[in-house]
Amino acid sequence: MIARSLRGTLVAAVVAAGLATTAAPASAALPVKYNVLSAGEAILRGPNTAPTGANDWSCKPTAAHPRPVVLVHATFVNMGLNWNALSPLLKNDGYCVFAFNYGMTALSVGGYVGGLGSVAKSAETMAAFVDRVRDRTGVDKVDVVGHSQGGMVIKYHNVALGNGGKVANAVMLAPSMHGTTQNGLTTFGEQLRPFAGWLVNGIYVALGAVTPGLRDQAITSPFAKALNALPDTTSGTKLTVISTKYDTVVTPYATQEPKGPGTQWIVLQDQCALDKAGHVAVGFDSIALRNVANALDPATAKPIVCKAIDANLGG
């Protein structure tokens, strides 16, 4: 899910996007802006416009990077807002990059606010998009990267829908695949149930009717419990989860730890104590995104450079 701080920053983003820090190799064609404010550029481009570097349907995977990468955004955003940094980074690295929107409802403000529909339905949207990418690029398998709810959508797509055989690497940033207490709100609601069950039930009904994507991510929801009964990944699909101790949305952050063979868990602060990135900022955190690139291609992994990362803006 996307933290409340994003709502405020996006208003300023359109004006301040030009202030974003740009850091890309000298030979790169596309700038990589490690700053949440740069997401404002996506507002100007429109809700159905792919992030920079993505959705070139003439792109053909190379021997160096034989699998295209599919990006799966988080709750309350769309593909352009979420992947304004990672998409050009991967494109500069030589990948074919693809992104899509999912979970759009009547509350999606014309396509800017995604991830509101049910996770199961969103996973079906992902499945159709992955098949389209496979068909157009001529590959058997893709790699996928998801942020927050994007992680839960990936797990449902790979495990529950049985599409793991189409995915070689799954990388998740602060995923809600195990559900979240939503900074304690869900847990608090369950504690209230013995005394005010009618109120708790009413809230769940309302969430289910209006924003089922939020309801599904609650750690106590029937959907999350059923998904947690399944393995985190399938044989043949490597799973890497990247978490921040400063996550106040998918909580507790330790619930993000993947289980089972073929999984890896990276906690950013174990690598760099100066990294204060919160839930939203990990999508614009140069350390987090370097971990994504390293997980996709361990053979050419680059060292992690420890530096101060802002809690709300990234860097």
Place of tokens 């769940």: 204
- Domain 5-300, CATH homologous superfamily name and number: Alpha/Beta hydrolase fold, catalytic domain (3.40.50.1820)
The first and second tokens of residue 113, run together, are 């606010």
Give me the chain's average pLDDT, please.
Answer: 88
**Lowest-pLDDT range of 206-210, 268-272, 276-280:** 206-210
DSSP 54: B
pTM over 0.85: yes
Longest distance between any two alpha carbons in the chain, whole Å: 63
- Tell me the C-alpha distance between 77 and 42, whole Å: 10
DSSP 67: S
Give me the half-sphere count of Cα atoms (radius 13 Å) on the Cβ side of residue 276.
7
Task: Give the confidence band of 40 by pLDDT, cuts at 50, 70, 90.
Answer: confident
Neighbour-count burial of 204, counting CB atoms closer than 10 A to its CB (0-12 exposed, 13-18 middle, 19+ buried): middle
Sheet containing 97-100: which strands, arranged edge to edge? 97-100, 69-72, 142-147, 167-173, 238-243, 263-267
Task: Give the confidence band of 3 by pLDDT, cuts at 50, 70, 90.
Answer: very low
**More confidently predicted of 210 and 255:** 255
- Tell me the C-alpha distance between 243 and 282, whole Å: 8
The first and second tokens of residue 125, run together, are 């949207």
Q: What percent of the chain has pLDDT over 70?
A: 83
Confidence (pLDDT) at 29: 86
Three-state SS for 71-118 is: EECCCCCCHHHHCCCHHHHHHHCCCCEEEECCCCCCCCHHHCCCCCCC
Mean pLDDT of 302-312: 97
Neighbour-count burial of 157, counting CB atoms closer than 10 A to its CB (0-12 exposed, 13-18 middle, 19+ buried): buried
pLDDT tens digit string along 133-178? 999 999 999 999 999 999 999 999 999 999 999 999 999 999 999 9
Confidence (pLDDT) at 195: 56
Q: Where are the domains of the chain?
A: 5-300
Confidence (pLDDT) at 255: 96
Task: Give the confidence band of 191 by pLDDT, cuts at 50, 70, 90.
Answer: low
- Tell me the C-alpha distance between 240 and 258, whole Å: 8
C-beta separation of 14 from 72 below 8 A: no
Q: Is 9 helix (H, G, I), strand (E, B) or coil?
A: helix
Quick check: 192 pLDDT over 60?
no
Bridge partner residues of 145 (DSSP): 71, 171
Confidence (pLDDT) at 210: 79
C-beta separation of 277 from 246 below 8 A: yes
Confidence (pLDDT) at 18: 37
Confidence (pLDDT) at 26: 40
Task: Give the confidence band of 309 by pLDDT, cuts at 50, 70, 90.
Answer: very high
